[in-house]
A = this chain, B = another copy of it.
């Protein structure tokens, strides 16, 4: 157990933080410690202006001409190239399109078709639900089976019948981070492809797709990339698969010549073939502003701060909140986790509600998990210190044990 610092010591950590000035790029509400950027990233200061310019000047004044005049048509590739730098990919290997769910469908179907004769998609139990839901839809679509193996049995479960291994890099609930390189090697040794969901890692910890020789990936724009609620997602296809994999969602934006209006479909040669319909430009403008918050940020600084913030929270729960029944379910080893920490508690739901009432916004995940996300760009060590202090106070006073905190609503 690491010692939990004093408030002054936490402030000293902030003063020494190479990312300390990045918080000013965001608007964060007064009196709130926001530890849910892993679910919905905070609002970057530049976003409102970027969106207003898109709406009022580009759309309002230049109308249809903006597709070329303001580079709307290039937005999916331009934003993809920018995200590529955050996930260890080449600029032409990433594109922004659709939702994470739709992108999983596109790439998983393409992967299964690229491995004809193989009959399984392999994933893990408790993977982020949409991944499993979409995988079951893919399985029904291409006539394969979705097979589930526990994390510790995953590598051994890969066999000559595995078409694609579909895993979330960082688990949405436990925070466990898979060894992308090791699993990729194991999958490829059996002839399978890997498809990584980076929703809970891109923009929070170092991701190295090409360093891991990954095949395919998808990720979310509205969590650590700060693109706004329901922001467009991204997808990655390693260059060696370009021209070989085809999207089942063969919409006009993925056509080799979308404005020729030919009757016959001919996929674009590169990553653009994984586009489908017309991109949502207003949402793209918000995502572009969100990604710009990473300009000049070293991935190593991001990873180091994420680790330190998580370590601080774990130390706080285990010292300040000792004896209150919390069980850490996130790995202690920073290299094996993402940027959120989850603890189990049989009263996790009312505790989470009580924390929100006391200005600490984390979230609850059924059945018994309290999840706290630490966003390296805007979470301060002082915030973590205060959140621990408030959690300790809520537990000591049993402030959670109030009927108002047991009312269930939809929680995201």
Give chain A's interface residues, CB within 8 Å of chain B. Answer: 27, 29, 32, 34, 36, 39-40, 42-43, 47-48, 51-52, 55-56, 59-68, 72-73, 98-102, 105, 109, 125-127, 129-130, 132-134, 136-137, 140-142, 148, 173, 222, 228-233, 247-255, 258-265, 276-284, 286, 356, 361, 363, 365-366, 409-412
Distance of A255 Cα from B132 Cα, bound (Å): 12
Distance of A283 Cα from B249 Cα, bound (Å): 21
Distance of A29 Cα from B60 Cα, bound (Å): 7
Distance of A323 Cα from B286 Cα, bound (Å): 50
Partner of A283, one of B48, B62, B251, B283: B283
Partner of A101, one of B126, B249, B283: B249
A130 lies within 8 A of B52 (CB): no
Distance of A29 Cα from B265 Cα, bound (Å): 37
Residues of B within 8 A of A68 (CB): 409-410
Residues of B within 8 A of A72 (CB): 229-230
Q: A64-B39, A101-B276 are in contact. Are A366 and B229 (CB under 8 A)?
A: no
Residues of B within 8 A of A249 (CB): 101-102, 105, 134, 137
Q: A51-B55, A55-B51, A68-B410 are in contact. Are A281 and B250 (CB under 8 A)?
A: no
Residue of B nearest to A365 (CB): B261
Residue of B nearest to A281 (CB): B229
Q: A137-B249, A252-B101 are in contact. Are A280 and B280 (CB under 8 A)?
A: yes
Residues of B within 8 A of A148 (CB): 263
Partner of A132, one of B228, B259, B265, B365: B265
Residue of B nearest to A136 (CB): B265
Distance of A232 Cα from B233 Cα, bound (Å): 14
Distance of A276 Cα from B230 Cα, bound (Å): 12
Distance of A279 Cα from B249 Cα, bound (Å): 18
A73 lies within 8 A of B229 (CB): no
Q: A102-B249, A102-B276, A282-B286 are in contact. Are A410 and B73 (CB under 8 A)?
A: yes
B250 lies within 8 A of A136 (CB): yes
Residues of B within 8 A of A255 (CB): 129, 133
Distance of A394 Cα from B112 Cα, bound (Å): 56
B230 lies within 8 A of A29 (CB): no
Distance of A92 Cα from B67 Cα, bound (Å): 34
Residues of B within 8 A of A134 (CB): 249-251, 276
A277 lies within 8 A of B133 (CB): no
B55 lies within 8 A of A47 (CB): yes
Q: A105-B248, A261-B365 are in contact. Are A55 and B43 (CB under 8 A)?
A: yes
Q: What is the minimal beta-carbon distance from A170 to any residue of chain B, in angstroms?
A: 16
Q: Can you sample 10 A-B contacts with CB below 8 Å? A: A48-B60, A98-B98, A98-B99, A99-B276, A102-B276, A127-B263, A129-B263, A130-B251, A140-B248, A280-B280
Partner of A56, one of B40, B43, B130, B247: B43
